[in-house]
Amino acid sequence: MNSLDQLIHFAHEAFSKTGGIPPLHHDAFEAARCAAGMTVSDFMDHFARSVAHRYHNGELKYEVADCALNSLSSYCLSRHEVMLPSYANDVYLAFDQGEYMHADDDVGADPEAKYTKPQIQAIVMRDRILGVAVSN
């Protein structure tokens, strides 16, 4: 299991055990970031891009991807006291929209299908048009 997989699965396992959203583990985050040779901001975008593309490709379930982005946001706020960088924030917000029924939703609407999937698809398509490489 590579370092991104470890971070993603840490977030989901911690949520499953506690029901809370813990920040990503700092040492694991830093080890993965340093191994990738990226700044903190670039690595956060890289992490979010990997989650978005893997979710879009059916490699991650919504619950796992959502936990990963919530933990990334929590890490960013608690460790660096700043908001997520732009790309990571776009991905975070796409998953956030799938967490709840919206005021104008019909009874029985699926927020993941209605909000998250199309937003993630748009993000992934934008990456493809721009030729942004995705690595795990």
Report for 6-15, 80-89, 114-123: range of highest mean pLDDT: 114-123
Helix and strand numbers, DSSP H then E, in the chain: 7, 0
What token pair was written down for 5? 């997989």
Return the pLDDT at 70.
Answer: 95
Q: Is it the case that residue 133 has pLDDT exceeding 80?
A: no
30 against 134, higher pLDDT: 30
Q: What is the pTM of this model?
A: 0.92
Q: List the chain domain ranges.
A: 3-130
Q: What is the pLDDT of residues 12-47, one digit of tens each?
A: 888 888 888 888 989 999 999 999 999 999 999 999
